[in-house]
Chain A
Amino acid sequence: MKNTKHILTLASGVLSLFFINSCELDEYNPSGSTADIIWSTPEGIETLVNACYQNQRAWYGKMDGVLASEVGTDLWFSQQKDGYAKEFVKYENFLPTTGNPNKALWPIMYEALNLCNAAIGRIQDVPYTSAEAKMAKEGEARFLRAFYLWHIVETWGGVYLPVTETKEVMLNAKRSSVEEFYNVIIEDLKFAVDNLPIDQGEEYTRATRKSAMGLLARAYISRAYYSNGSEAENYFTLARDVAREIIENQATLGVSLHNNYAELWNPQNNKRNKEALYVVGNSTGNPLLNYDLNANRLHMYFLTTYNTKPGMAISLEYGNEKERRTMPTLFLLDLFDETKDSRYEASFQEVWYANDSTKIPRWTQGEIDALELDPGLKGKRKFNVGDTALYVTKKSIENESDKWYVVVDRDSVYNTAGNGEIKLGKDYVPLIKYLDPITRTLPGEVPGFLDIIIIRLAEIYLIAAEAELQLGNPDAAAGYINVLRTRAAKKTPVDHTVDMQVNASEITLDFILDERGRELCGEHLRWFDLKRTHKLLERVQKNNPDIIYLQEHHYLRPVPQTEIDALLNGEEFGQNPGYN
């Protein structure tokens, strides 16, 4: 029996050993890269925050982003994209099942949002040696969450607002109000303002304090229009205050206006542009570091055709015009008084100089006879390389055909005798803000690697002005606007600075929108500006005769139908009004 006891002790010992062992059922997965493992250290969290930046590059630098934020407004029309994106271009047949950019952008935004939520949630449990570093990293994630949420709420309205990482099977979703969206956006941005560094050093395309302040100003002023009375006043005040804080602390924040508008858009000044508060970066040195191999394609979308014209060949300088997507409305061109305002010339191109001698036409005997020219001209080139070969202008030109080169004037592009609609969308004055002759090496190359400015100081001045106007201080508003107009004024041969100044009595919401058009056209803001100020219908109907299907419900884009289908409570979640 003595033995027995020993044995039983041994047996129970072995058994109890197992109970201890049983705790070790945690999975080890070194090769599989799972979230729980990789994202458990400061270095790992950085990879997650890095990923949060990724999807903004699918909006900025691509056609879909241009369609969703500039087109469908008073400034632009897109003859070429009629088929692919007629829902955005002219609101034709815009349904929950149509609109490829709408269907494409929704998952891109929400995927990024989930990554931001993962970052914000997971960083809390990750040990950092420096609390400041941890808060700064969280600040980036929060800035980006606000960034994506702003795009979502302004595009689709009060839809689904997740603030934690999706960890379970999600088949039900509830809507949140626009106000709830902005509560998160504003809280996140306040956190980001408090914790982001002023400078990110070599990694300058990361969010900084000025980025967060700029987006906060934009968020406040957007939020203000969703309320009335004292609440609205409160948000306009907040918007004004943040904008003013940026303007007054430019040196500290490391941002300043360029001396003139053309300098701002000079590709040589693109990287680390001093006027930018936030950019979507593209790496020039290593194309693999960008969102995709196409990186920044904006340089193509706004161009007109030129290389089929006599004397013209495709060139780096004039850009790759194969993907002509977006043309200005007559209204946009006429916003400018180009005699005084340098922004027209810096933003648009009217003249092309011959760059291909082989394509320059030669005088024929018939022409010499008809025009009674010097017979010796026969067989000679009509003009030389470096001479004007193409002239597309907002002006009205008499006897265009008398010119040796091609002339396209406003009357041949737009129905100037009638409502100003587009006659032919083939030749027009192109926006050249995004031209990229420096990071591309071949004229036909598609990828460009310039950074894309998302928020710049001029917008902050305009936000400040708009807020002041709404707060009943047109004087202050005029003051902010005049800073921009002073810069924009042509200084030579005659200095138009004084002519360009505006006074308080001229400042209206429409004037501010006009001024935004002059200053910010093509910069992924117009649709949001008209939506914010609830001027979309009015101004489009008045100024863009080619858009005929726009209705009140288009202030929101539809929720893609597949999303509603995939929800168990799809009916309860519902479609945005007007789309059923």
Chain B
Amino acid sequence: MNKRMLLLCFVVFLAAGITAQITVRGKVTDGEGAPVPGVNILVKGTNNGAVTNTDGVYQLSDVFPDDVLVFSFVGMLTEEIIAGSRTVIDVTLAQDILDMEGVVVIGYGTVKKKDLTGSVATISNEEIIKLPTSNAIEAIQGKVTGMDIVRESGSAGSGVYIRVRGNRSIGNPNEPDKFDDLNEPLYVIDGIQGASFSDLNPNDIESINVLKDASSTAIYGSQGANGVIIITTKKGKEGKTRVSYNGFYGITGLTPYPKVRMGDEYIQFRKDAYSNAGAWNDSVHTEDDYRILFNEGELAAIDSGQWVDWQDLIMQNGSQNSHQISVSGGNEKTRSYFSAGYYNEEGIVKLDEFKRYNARVNIDHTLNRWFLAGIQSQLTYIDQDRRKDPLSTASSITPLGIPYNENGSINLYPVAGNATQISPLTDERTDIAIDNTRQTKVLTLGYVEIRPFNGLTFRSNLGANLQFSRRGIFNDATSLSQKGLLINNSSVNASNGRFINWDNILTYSKSLGRHNMVVTALTSYTQNKVDEIYASGDNQATEAALFYNLGATDAEGREISSAYVGSASMSYAARIFYSFADKYLITLTERIDGASRLAEENRWDHFPSFAVAWKIKEENFLQNIDWINDMKIRYSYGIAGNSGISEYGTQSGIWPFSIGFGEVAKTGYKFNTLVGNATLGWEKSATHDIGIDITLFSNRVNATIDVYNTNTSDILLQRQLPKMSGVGSVFQNIGSTQNRGIELNLQTINLNKSDFTWSSVFTFSKNKEKITGLIDGTDIINNEDNSLVLGYPIKSFYTFKKTGIWQLGDEAEMAQIRNIKYKAGDIRVENLNADTLIDAEDRTVIGSAVPKWVGGFENTFSYKNINLSIFLFARMGQMIKAEFLGRYNPSGSGNGPDYFDYWMPDNPTNEFPRPLRGAELSNYFGYQTLTYVDGSYFKIKNIRLSYTLPPEIAGKLLAERLQLYATASNILTLTKSHLLKYYDPERGGSESAPLSRQIVFGINVDF
């Protein structure tokens, strides 16, 4: 590095004598060939300079050949070039990954990245659209430290699971679904809380900022503890009107999924099951004796070779289709951005489809030098069809029969003579199973901004989020979900939500000498109201009516309900940012929250925080160290809240019943068993965060390291009360958890030639989550999946520890266990207390669903107009409950995955127990342990190749910029456990809607 500089100086020195002045012209482009307007070009050490125009072209006169031209632009690495004798100097500016001058969006304001005192990650639009997906958050998996993101399922339009720095809230073990809501971060889209990122078209997003430490999130008070994700949409810019088109088409398929036994393997397994039961002997029986093993229907099917690969018939190639057009531009008065988008995804099973239509309008208008107003508005319409996943049925039923009738229609009962075995394809028939959701969402925000004098800004945002949704379900008597019931069922669920958010923000900034101060004061009011109505019924007279005529269902068993849920909050917050000499920074924040969901005497709570930062680089002793460009140490401490309390949680619910006095009917109301607790407060998380930001070697190495410790207290837990209180149980603020972790983000430019750059981004997050307090310090043991054990993460698995399979020769050891009569081939679990019983005492925490660490590694190579990036992702140390492992069906009837290594007298494996005719898996003691498996994986998440057309060629196509790209996702996944080799563990263990591989082709054009 320094050598190059020396060389440069040497050349300059040599050239000093030549003095002919020339005029230099040229074009400045970015890494992808797009022109960069507004670049400053300055002759080093002089005032002679120029600026590029909208086409990125500049012209600079009076240049001496030995002059050094400095090209600088916000967000790009500054380039210094010796003029030489050239008259045309074209320059490509590389993206400045760290972008110290760039602004970071923090709550209710922005701050220059260099002045940041908290832990905030920023992702630009470029990163987001790199991975073409339906939602922006999925695209940033592995790119933000401390943020654990996995896709929820492989079904069309499915969302993502997100955790910022672990789980804090425990919730009610009996309501596992609610757990995810409790630990979900807060989303703020253009200043409006509570809207869904998945409604946005990723192309409309300007940036995503993730606030992680308490000093950053405390400004969101009672809602901040799970982290805050701030999404900012694009705005129009002054200048020429820009029209862009972004589109992609993708194919989904080659889904890794465990194949089931077919043909000889299927027959062999049944032989083994029968032979272990003493009903089959290979040395005695022959093929003529197959009727011992199979019934007539099966035998006939085997004889005619009617093997069916149900999975194959069910799975198809899915697709993704996205188109978005945007128009942006403006003059000094009005700037606007319009876009319209369409996204369509078809899943890997039929009838699984997601369609989204978006339209967005963002307008900013400057009335005069002190008054601004604007609107950011979006309409989203979603039409989604879901299908009850047939894969579990396909994986467990006998692989025999006739799937289709001669006319090509689906054969309802594929095995002749077996009317209990309905075809997993049944729902594919027209109007047999419909589950359709239609949602219309309006997200709109209007603002006025007043700047009465320099330094003071008042802004008032009024936002609304309106949602209307209808889900209609119809299941025919012959549908998969009604099998066993054999009557049709229909239901409709409609909801209408109104969310209003009104923020008023006063900001005052002032510099006095070396003192710098920004004060923010704000009020924030939110109100949320949801109406819901649900109706369902059985046995609708006319099936063709689907769910549109519930009045024609049987009166008995009809269900109707309607509900209203409303809440409001009022908050006041203030933040003071102060810096001295641009070296010592301090941020103080206090938020006071009032919430309707808390009881009157407890309604208000406050959330303070502070942060300090020291820019060491600015100190004299580092001034002369060239290779350190920047260095800052941060520390923050603060308290943020968790929204663990749901609406009406403090109120005592009561329920009505009928009671007679004489023969007069009256109504009585009694307390619910779960009573309200009027003293409920927020769950609170106190976080210490120490971080360091370093930039080295001419901005080519940037590193951010954070270490944090979050202690969450006052967690809500349900407690059984003495019956003499007259009530049953109550939620109390009595639990506590701890999350400690370390995060590293390392960005490097490994090579930076004019034609070729190679840059890397490495992220590493390690979080250790544990429960530190429960009611009276006692573990709460329920079943395997929802026990709470002190010292372990919330989502831990508590059961026996499988050590293998009992083998022939182990008889003496087996006999030592008095309460279970073991046989060779049974599951062997660890006898933890080494007594003579295998019982509840021998259960322990065998693993947890939270990963020990998550890492991402992206390498981007640019050669001229070609850009290649490869993103690797690893999620390690988590355990998953792989449902399909429980599909091991030892009886030999039905079916199961074909690669399971099962015990036989001549195959002393330690994986699966012996097959046995008539046995169910649950007959084997410790069978639960089979489904839990180390879910660690490493995957090549994404490979992206893009080509930006040279401007001349693009110009011929009337385009300013044209980029073509192709991506391949989930290409290769390596799992730690060999049992998962045919399964993408990112799915988390569910056997329905597995994750697939994807190949996407896309185009981005600017006109």
Residues of A within 8 A of B (CB): 3-4, 7-8, 10-11, 14-15, 18-19, 21-22, 24-36, 38-39, 44, 46-48, 50-51, 53-54, 106-107, 110-115, 117-118, 159-160, 162, 165-171, 173, 200, 202-206, 271, 281-286, 288-290, 560, 562-563, 566-567
Contact = CB atoms under 8 A, between A and B. Distances in A.
Contact of B727 (A19, A166, A200, A288): A166
B662 A50 contact: no
Minimum-distance CB pairs A-B, first 4: A114-B726, A289-B660, A283-B660, A203-B661
Contacts of B664: 202-203
A170 B568 contact: no
Interface in B652-676: 652-671, 675-676
B452 A3 contact: yes
B725 A114 contact: yes
Contacts of B595: 25
B596 interface: yes
Contacts of B659: 50-51, 53-54, 289
A281 B669 contact: no
Interface stretch (B212-220, B434-442, B559-567): B559-567
Nearest to B452: A4
Given A3-B370, A33-B654, A50-B659, A168 B677 contact: yes
B726 A113 contact: yes
B562 A31 contact: yes
Interface of B: 370, 450, 452-453, 458, 460, 502, 504, 506, 523, 525, 562-570, 594-597, 600, 603, 647-648, 651-671, 675-679, 719-727, 730, 732
A170 B721 contact: yes
A574 to B, nearest CB: 14
Contacts of A4: 452-453
Nearest to B570: A22
A166 B525 CA distance: 33
Contact of B668 (A53, A200, A284, A286): A53
A7 B458 contact: yes
A271 to B, nearest CB: 8
B670 A54 contact: yes
5 contacts: A22-B594, A28-B566, A34-B652, A202-B661, A203-B661
A27 B651 contact: yes
B459 to A, nearest CB: 10
Nearest to B568: A25
Given A15-B506, A47-B666, 17 more contacts: A7-B450, A18-B523, A22-B525, A27-B567, A50-B669, A53-B659, A54-B657, A106-B724, A110-B726, A111-B670, A111-B671, A114-B727, A162-B725, A166-B675, A203-B661, A289-B658, A562-B722
B596 to A, nearest CB: 4
Contacts of A285: 663
A566 B564 contact: no
A8 B600 CA distance: 33
A221 to B, nearest CB: 27
A18 B525 CA distance: 8
B525 A111 contact: no
Contacts of B603: 25
A205 B678 contact: no
A34 B370 CA distance: 50
B721 A566 contact: yes
A33 B653 contact: yes
Contacts of A160: 724
Contacts of A560: 723
A30 B566 CA distance: 10
Contacts of A7: 370, 450, 452, 458
B661 A205 contact: yes
A561 to B, nearest CB: 11
Nearest to B730: A169
B669 A47 contact: yes
A19 B655 CA distance: 36
Given A18-B525, A27-B651, A159 B666 contact: no
B306 to A, nearest CB: 53
Given A50-B659, A204-B661, A283-B660, A29 B669 contact: no
Contacts of A8: 452
Which secondary structure dominates where chain B touches chain A?
strand
Contacts of B370: 3, 7
B601 to A, nearest CB: 11
Contact of B655 (A33, A46, A111, A113): A33
Contacts of B722: 170-171, 173, 562-563, 566-567
B452 A566 contact: no
Contacts of A204: 661-662
A158 B573 CA distance: 53
B732 A169 contact: yes
A115 B452 contact: no
A406 B424 CA distance: 66
Contacts of A39: 654, 669
Nearest to A30: B564
Contacts of B506: 11, 15
Nearest to B371: A7
Nearest to A288: B658
B569 A11 contact: no
A38 B670 CA distance: 11
A333 to B, nearest CB: 36
Contacts of A206: 661
Contact of B721 (A28, A51, A171, A284): A171
Q: Identify the interface centre among B566, B655, B725: most chain A CB within 10 Å of its CB.
A: B725
Contacts of A28: 564, 566
B726 A202 contact: no
B719 A169 contact: yes
A173 B460 CA distance: 52
Contacts of A34: 648, 651-654, 676
A111 B450 contact: no
Contacts of A24: 568
A33 B656 CA distance: 9
A162 B665 CA distance: 30
Nearest to B649: A27
B679 A566 contact: no
Contacts of A22: 525, 570, 594
A377 B612 CA distance: 115
Contacts of B651: 27, 29, 32, 34-36
A257 B259 CA distance: 84
Nearest to A37: B651
Contact of A32 (B570, B648, B665, B669): B648
Q: Identify the interface centre among B658, B659, B677, B724: most chain A CB within 10 Å of its CB.
A: B724
Nearest to B665: A289
A479 B667 CA distance: 45
B677 A107 contact: no
Given A7-B452, A50-B667, A53-B668, A173 B724 contact: yes
B726 A166 contact: yes
Contacts of B452: 3-4, 7-8
Contacts of B562: 31
B668 A47 contact: yes
A305 to B, nearest CB: 33
A171 B668 CA distance: 28
A526 B705 CA distance: 79
A286 B678 contact: no
Nearest to A203: B661
B671 A35 contact: yes
Contacts of A19: 523
A5 to B, nearest CB: 8
A27 B647 contact: yes
Nearest to A172: B722
A463 to B, nearest CB: 27
Contacts of A29: 564, 566, 647-648, 651
Contacts of A110: 723-726
Contacts of B719: 169
Q: Identify the interface centre among B502, B666, B670, B732: most chain A CB within 10 Å of its CB.
A: B670
A31 B658 contact: no
Contact of A26 (B453, B596, B675, B721): B596
